[in-house]
A and B are shown apart, each in its own frame.
Chain A
Amino acid sequence: MTFSPALEARFQKLLTSYPPGRERSAVIPMLLYAQDEIGHVSQELIEEVAARCGITPLEVDEVVGYYSMLHRKPLGKYHVQVCTNICCQAIGGEQLYHHAERTLGIHNKQVTADGLISLEEVECIGACSWAPAIQVNYDFHHHVTPEGFDDLMQTLRDGTYQKSS
């Protein structure tokens, strides 16, 4: 597989970041960073990472099955992750998640027909004091109201989206 020069450089750095003979340590970062670039963890990627880390594809596969951020199917261009854990729940996180389901017309881990937005109900993302919180890809958005959510989704659709944090 070919990756961008930046990702290749990152891979090279990762493979030398661990003690000699411990290249397997790079497998999770490599999968996550590669997923950021190609959109999901494909079988081809699993085989590529396995070869580079010197382990079997099966050993990579069992890692993919464990970590919730590694996705075997393509996500939307914007992956919208709504936290409903107890601190967000206390401030309306569950209502916000249901609002997201209704307004986007998709359920947990589904993608809109145009491939633009995917939705996931996630566990605590570390924004408890500024609940309810969501992440759009890796960007945090705090104190998200249903109205604020709608505005944010609109910016994803019309291309005016801006990071908040």
Chain B
Amino acid sequence: MLYNEPSPLEVKVVSARFGLPNSASIDTYLANDGYNAIQKALGMEAGAIIDELKTSSLRGRGGAGFPTGMKWSFVPTNTGKPTYVICNADESEPCTCKDRLLMENDPHQMIEGMMIAGWVIKSNRGYIYIRGEYRYLIDIVDRAIAEAYQRGYLGKNVFGSGWDFDVYTHTGAGAYECGEESALLESLEGKRGVPRLKPPFPAVIGAFQSPTILNNCETFSAVPWIMLHGGPAFAELGTPKNGGTRMTCVSGHVNKPGVYELPLGFPLMRLINEICGGMRNGKKLKAVIPGGSSSPVLKADECDIALDFDSLAKAKTMAGSGGLLVLDEDTDMVAVALRTIKFYAHESCGWCIPCREGTTWLKKILTRYHNGGGRRGDIDTIADLANNMLGKTFCPLGDAAAMPTAAFVAKFRDEFEAYLEKSIPVESREFAMV
């Protein structure tokens, strides 16, 4: 099911089959190039497949934007240990709702992408880690897996290659932290989702202490198209070093929020005005959070920017998970900053002190500030706390909390200062969140 109208400006690669009747079924998939890419890959050497991915300049769609071909090339296949393919479908970065659509509308595409990864590293097992809240998707993906077994595409001797590959779903149970790759692996092993010290990276010591390819659902979903159409064709869709398209999730104060598949490098203002129908109620744009809640906010005058990994990094923010929140002139940025840090404080696993204490104190200070108890020194304390968290934790959650917070106070300092004079009505004070 599609939850918003598509836009004619979209370039459909991973969402090409969305909207077809029974798009999740294997018959629809087979009638539309399905399982051709794995058959092609089975006739290729692993190195050639990796080269194709490198040429495509596909970068991880989960958040970090690491080049996929390079990631796959790091996996040793001569250790004598089994190897694993893990699909990260734990989508929980606020602003992001695309993996949901990919699994709901085209689960076979993701499975085929995992199979190609499996063939590259001669793995016999893949797991799809789906967040617990997405129960209906576990059912859909389980059905798709069962269909693929029925046709003999999964299991023993895949397409007569002599290579076996099994795929399983695995559910999380509510933890943002488990979207971080090493915490996900801990969770897959039946433990608390606490991150591991890196290196070694999962490519070398991953699932069950073995070499592992771990990619986001959308990353795997792009692989079959790249195999069929070639790396150069995918690269050409985007900008240099930022190949292909991206499922771009837009939320907030626009007329037509939704998930749109757009080439990398698509201009942000065109996205807002031409695809999303402009600002709601004719309001003025105030800010955009461009890559999930972890990404530093852009002020309206910084929004004349291309949506790709490198352009956004240059603007000291990030493309992250591809989720954009568009905020209008009426938005209370202190409230947004508070809600953001409440989230990270709630989701911090508690393992690293700078993250556990930093998020908690930022939440306390911002809560007091928002409730009308702000003091003049608070703004600098917030910035100082945030800056002291950066780079000091096992996993990026500490940074993910600190970066946006530092940006909110730096870029909207005027608004924070004006808050000191404001009297806040009781009913809009601190919200219960245990």
Contact = CB atoms under 8 A, between A and B. Distances in A.
A86 interface: yes
B65 interface: no
B249 A129 contact: yes
A142 interface: yes
B208 A67 contact: no
A90 interface: yes
B120 interface: no
Given A90-B325, A123-B94, A138-B135, A68 B251 contact: no
Contacts of A139: 136
Interface string A1-30: 000000000000000011100101111110
A25 B133 CA distance: 19
A122 to B, nearest CB: 8
A87 B95 CA distance: 6
A62 interface: yes
A94 to B, nearest CB: 6
Contacts of A84: 339, 431, 433
B132 A91 contact: no
Interface residues of B, number: 63
Contacts of A70: 173-174
Contacts of B134: 126
A94 B431 contact: yes
A125 interface: yes
B309 to A, nearest CB: 21
A32 B190 CA distance: 12
Contact of B174 (A67, A94, A109, A126): A67
Given A128-B96, A138-B135, A121 B433 contact: yes
B1 interface: yes
A156 interface: no
Contact of B170 (A29, A90, A91, A124): A29
Contact of A25 (B188, B289, B323): B188
Interface string A112-126: 000000000101111
Given A28-B187, A85-B293, A126-B131, A131 B251 contact: yes
B343 interface: yes
Interface string B290-325: 000100000000000000000000000000000101
B206 interface: no
B176 A126 contact: no
A145 to B, nearest CB: 15
A65 B175 CA distance: 11
A128 B172 contact: no
B343 to A, nearest CB: 6
Interface string A67-96: 111100000000000001111011100100
A126 B346 contact: no
Given A28-B171, A68-B175, A70-B174, A89 B433 contact: no
A37 to B, nearest CB: 13
Interface string B248-263: 0111110001110000
Contacts of A31: 173
Contacts of A22: 189, 208
Nearest to A97: B431
Contacts of A140: 136
B170 A121 contact: no
Interface in B313-353: 323, 325, 327, 331, 335-336, 339-340, 343, 346-347, 349
B31 interface: no
A79 to B, nearest CB: 11
Nearest to B191: A63
Interface string B1-45: 101100000000000000000000000000000000000000000
B154 to A, nearest CB: 13
B181 interface: no
B433 A108 contact: yes
Given A25-B188, A129-B3, A123 B92 contact: yes
Contacts of A165: 1, 136
A130 B3 CA distance: 7
A66 B251 contact: no
B352 to A, nearest CB: 15
A25 to B, nearest CB: 5
B251 A32 contact: no
A51 to B, nearest CB: 14
Given A19-B208, A26-B190, A123-B343, A67 B95 contact: no
B196 interface: no
A40 interface: no
Interface of B: 1, 3-4, 82, 91-97, 99-100, 125, 131-136, 168, 170-176, 187-193, 208, 249-253, 257-259, 289, 293, 323, 325, 327, 331, 335-336, 339-340, 343, 346-347, 349, 427, 431-434
Given A24-B191, A84-B339, A86-B325, 13 more contacts: A28-B173, A63-B192, A69-B132, A86-B340, A87-B95, A90-B331, A108-B432, A126-B100, A126-B134, A127-B100, A129-B250, A129-B257, A130-B257
15 contacts: A25-B170, A29-B170, A66-B349, A85-B94, A85-B293, A86-B325, A87-B325, A121-B431, A125-B133, A126-B100, A128-B96, A128-B323, A130-B4, A135-B133, A138-B136
